[in-house]
Amino acid sequence: MRSPFRPKIELSGFWRFKLDPRGEGEREGWHRGFESCDVVYVPSSWNEQNPLWDGYDGVAWYSTSFYVRKELEGKLAWLVFKGAGYHARVWLNGELLGEHEGSFTQFKLDATRAVRFGDFNLLVVRIDNRVALDRLPPGLSFNRTAFDFLQYGGIHRPVYLEFTERSYVDSLVVETDHEGALKAEARVANGAGLRARFRLLDGRGAELLSEEVGCDGGVARVDRRVSGVKPWSPEEPNLYTLRVELLGERGLLDMVEERVGFRSFKVEKGRVYLNEKPVYLKGFGRHEDFPVTGKHVPGAALVRDFYLMKKLGANSFRTSHYPYSDEHLDLADEMGFLVILESTVCLSGFTGLFSDQAKAREWFKDPRILEKAKAVLREMIEQHRNRPSVVMYSVANEPPTDWEEAAEFVRQLAEYVRSLDPTRPVTFASHRHSRDRALGFVDVISLNVYFGWYSEWGSIEEGVRRMLEELKRVHEMHPDKPVLLAEFGADAVAGVHWDPPVMWSEEYQAELLKSYIEGVRGLEWVVGVHVWNFADFRTPQSPGRAVLNRKGVFTRDRQPKLAAHLVRDLFSRLPS
Closer residue to ligand GCB in complex, CB, 322/441: 322
CB of 533 to ligand GCB, least distance (A): 7
H or E element at residue 141: strand 139-141
Pure H helices in 386-505: 404-420, 460-477
Q: Using the Cα atoms of residue 66, residue 71, residue 77 and residue 81 in order, give the sign of their dihedral.
A: negative
435 exposure class (CB count in 10 Å sphere: 0-12, 13-18, 19+): middle
Pairing verdict, β 107-110 and 181-189: unpaired
Q: Given the residues 342, 379, 487, 511, select the one marked as catalytic.
A: 487
Residue 404 known to be catalytic: no
Closer residue to ligand GCB in complex, CB, 256/392: 392
Which segments of 215-368 are extended strands (E)? Answer: 219-225, 240-248, 251-260, 265-268, 271-274, 277-278, 281-285, 316-318, 338-342
Closer residue to ligand GCB in complex, CB, 245/398: 398
Rounded CA separation 295/309 (Å): 20
CB of 549 to ligand GCB, least distance (A): 5
CB of 58 to ligand GCB, least distance (A): 24
Residue 487 known to be catalytic: yes
Comparing every residue's Cβ against ligand GCB, the nearest one is 148
Residue 501 contacts residue 492 (beta carbons within 8 Å): no
CB of 469 to ligand GCB, least distance (A): 19
User: Footprint of ligand GCB on this chain (CB under 6 A)?
Assistant: 148, 321, 348, 397-398, 431, 448, 487, 532, 549, 551
Closer residue to ligand GCB in complex, CB, 306/532: 532
Q: Given the residues 162, 245, 257, 398, select the one marked as catalytic.
A: 398
202 exposure class (CB count in 10 Å sphere: 0-12, 13-18, 19+): middle
Closer residue to ligand GCB in complex, CB, 145/233: 145
Residues 6+ apart with CB under 8 A from 88: 81, 99, 100, 107, 125, 126, 127, 155
Closer residue to ligand GCB in complex, CB, 49/348: 348
Rounded CA separation 575/571 (Å): 8
CB of 532 to ligand GCB, least distance (A): 6
Integer angstrom CA distances of residue 398 from 69, 318, 438, 448: 50, 14, 11, 8
Convert 492-514 into a string of H (helix), E (strand) and C (coil). Answer: ECCCCCCCCCCCECHHHHHHHHH
Closest CA to 447 of 434, 435, 430, 432: 430
Closer residue to ligand GCB in complex, CB, 3/351: 351
CB of 356 to ligand GCB, least distance (A): 24
CB of 233 to ligand GCB, least distance (A): 28
| Cα angle value 86/87/90 (rounded, 5°) | 135
Q: Return the active site residues.
A: 398, 487
